[in-house]
Amino acid sequence: MNLRRTRAVARKEFIHIWRDPRSLIMALALPLLLLLLFGYALTLDVDRIPTLIYDSDNSPQSRELIERFRGSRYFQIIGSTNDYRDIETQIDQDKCLLALVIPHRYGRNILAGERAKVQLLLDGSDSNTASIALGYAEALLKTFNFELQSEALERKGAESIPVPVEARLRVWYNHELESKNFIVPGLVAVILMIISALLTSLTIAREWEMGTMEQLLSTPLRSTELVLGKMIAFFALGMVDALIAIGIGVLIFRVPLRGSPMLLFTTTCIFLFGALCMGIMISAIARQQLVAYQLGIITSFLPAFLLSGFVFAIENMPKIIQVITHIVPARYFIIILKGIFLKGVGIKVLWLEIFLLLAYAGIVFIIASRKLKQKLV
The least confident of 43-47, 51-55, 315-319, 331-335 is 43-47
The percent of residues above 90 in pLDDT, for the chain, comes to 10
Distance between CA atoms of residues 294 and 317, nearest Å: 25
Q: Which of the four pLDDT bands, split at 50, 70 and 90, describes residue 376?
A: very low
Which pLDDT score, from 0 to 100, does residue 115 have?
A: 76
Is there a contact between 51 and 96 (Cβ–Cβ < 8 Å)? Answer: yes
Q: Reply yes or no on whether the pLDDT at 106 is more than 70.
A: yes
Q: Region 359-374: what's the mean pLDDT?
A: 82
Topology annotation, domain 49-155: abc type-2 transporter like fold (3.40.1710)
- pLDDT, tens digit, 9 for 90 and up, residues 326-365: 988 989 999 999 899 988 888 999 999 999 999 999 998 8
- Residue spans of the domains in the chain: they are 3-43+178-373, 49-155
Q: Say whether pLDDT at 267 is over 90.
A: yes
pTM of the model: 0.76
Binned at pLDDT 50, 70 and 90, residue 112 comes out as confident
